[in-house]
């Protein structure tokens, strides 16, 4: 339990440390090539465009983001319509680094290709978080700072999609729900606005939230609603077993999300069922 408490404190401390002004990323030929390769939407079909970003250079977030990009692309049939922003690790490579500037560029490019009224934006970010502030961004020479709810709201406005599945893995990420919730949006967060989430040790392959939702629940064929519910139950079970205060993950489902959720569930693709990587070390298995 003490080890977990220290991990939670580290998440909080890193969030407060990221106080520098965000620096725009330099023009990146790899990102430009990935954006140019995105497929256009198919008229009459509900296409998912998947954007995944690790906003911190800690390996756990980058490992999680790279595999999340693959799982979400499979789950939502988004091959050719996915951009993963993360640090590379050996032969496991992403489109570009997870900077706010690159995230904004990816969202804008997807918005230009989508039918903004028909298609679905799927956004997954993973990082540390800071209470009463936002998502912590820390990328060494590329800059550091905080992505506030209003910052992410502005990026999403640049995308323009009406149908949105927004998944945020970070401590205190529930603070984004009021800003991002809407009639046609589903917003899922790893924690409430006042709680830490767990599993962010730099050496891990997954956070608790990423492992439960992406690496387990989404590998079992089911509706998205049931996959989210199963992940929440799993996380709460882990936290109770370890004797730690619940992260209290959140979900907001807009009143008009039914049609696009049904369309994505109807076209759901099988995801390889075997989890990738090791469970979070805090789980002890």
Instruction: Note the pLDDT of residue 285.
Output: 65
- Contacts of 272 by beta carbon, 8 Å cutoff, 6+ apart: 74, 219
Instruction: Specify the pairing of strand 163-169 against strand 120-126.
Output: parallel
User: What b/e sequence results for 127-164 when a residue is b if at least 16 CB atoms lie within 10 Å of its CB, and e otherwise?
Assistant: bbbbbebbbbbbbeebbbbbbbbebbeebbeebebbbb
Sheet holding 144-147, edge to edge: 129-130, 134-138, 144-147
Overall residue count recorded for the chain in this entry: 285
Strand intervals (E) in the chain: 48-54, 82-85, 120-126, 129-130, 134-138, 144-147, 163-169, 185-189, 250-253
Instruction: Note the pLDDT of residue 223.
Output: 97
Strand, helix or coil for residue 155: helix
- Check: CB of residue 122 under 8 Å from CB of residue 165: yes
Alpha carbons 101 and 81: distance in angstroms, whole number: 19
Strand, helix or coil for residue 15: helix
Q: Write out the chain's pLDDT in tens, 285 residues.
A: 333 443 343 344 343 333 333 444 447 899 999 999 999 999 999 999 999 999 999 999 999 999 999 999 999 999 999 999 999 988 999 999 899 999 999 999 999 999 999 999 999 999 999 999 999 999 887 889 999 999 999 999 999 999 999 999 999 999 999 999 999 999 999 999 999 999 999 999 999 999 999 999 999 999 999 999 999 999 999 999 999 999 999 999 999 999 999 999 999 999 999 999 999 999 986
Write a three-state SS string for 74-115: HHCCCCCCEEEECCCECCECCCECCCHHHHHHHHHHHHHHCC
Instruction: Note the pLDDT of residue 8.
Output: 41
Instruction: Note the pLDDT of residue 94.
Output: 93
Phi, psi of 186 (to 5 degrees): -110, 125
Phi, psi of 165 (to 5 degrees): -110, 110
- Contacts of 101 by beta carbon, 8 Å cutoff, 6+ apart: 22, 24, 25
pTM passes above 0.85: yes
Q: Exposed, middle or buried by CB within 10 Å (0-12, 13-18, 19+), for 284?
A: exposed
202: nearest Cα among 101, 57, 49, 78: 57
Instruction: Note the pLDDT of residue 110.
Output: 97
Kindly list the structural domains of the chain, giving each domain's residue range(s) and its CATH number in brackets, ordered by start.
2-283 (3.40.50.1460)
């Amino acid at each position: 339990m003490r080890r977990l408490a220290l991990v939670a404190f580290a998440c909080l401390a890193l969030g407060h440390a990221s106080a520098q002004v965000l620096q725009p990323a330099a023009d990146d030929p790899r990102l430009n090539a990935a954006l140019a390769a995105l497929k256009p939407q198919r008229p009459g079909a509900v296409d998912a465009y998947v954007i995944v970003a690790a906003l911190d250079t800690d390996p756990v977030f980058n490992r999680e983001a790279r595999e999340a990009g693959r799982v979400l692309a499979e789950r939502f049939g988004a091959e050719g319509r996915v951009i993963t922003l993360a640090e590379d690790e050996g032969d496991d490579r992403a489109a570009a680094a997870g900077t706010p500037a690159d995230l904004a560029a990816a969202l804008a490019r997807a918005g230009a290709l989508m039918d903004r009224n028909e298609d679905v934006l799927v956004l997954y970010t993973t990082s540390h978080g800071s209470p009463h502030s936002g998502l912590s961004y820390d990328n060494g020479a590329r800059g550091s700072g905080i992505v506030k709810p209003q910052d992410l709201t502005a990026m999403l406005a640049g995308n323009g999609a009406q149908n949105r599945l927004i998944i945020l893995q970070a401590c205190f990420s529930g603070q984004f729900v009021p800003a991002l919730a809407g009639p046609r949006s589903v917003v899922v967060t790893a924690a409430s606005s006042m709680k830490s989430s767990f599993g962010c040790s730099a050496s891990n392959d997954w956070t608790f939230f990423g492992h439960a939702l992406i690496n387990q629940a989404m590998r079992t064929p089911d509706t998205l609603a049931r996959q989210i519910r199963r992940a929440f139950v799993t996380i709460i079970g882990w936290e109770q077993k370890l004797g730690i205060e619940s992260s209290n993950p959140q979900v907001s489902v807009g009143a008009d999300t039914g049609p696009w959720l049904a369309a994505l569930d109807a076209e759901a693709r099988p995801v390889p069922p075997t989890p990738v990587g090791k469970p979070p070390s805090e789980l002890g298995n």
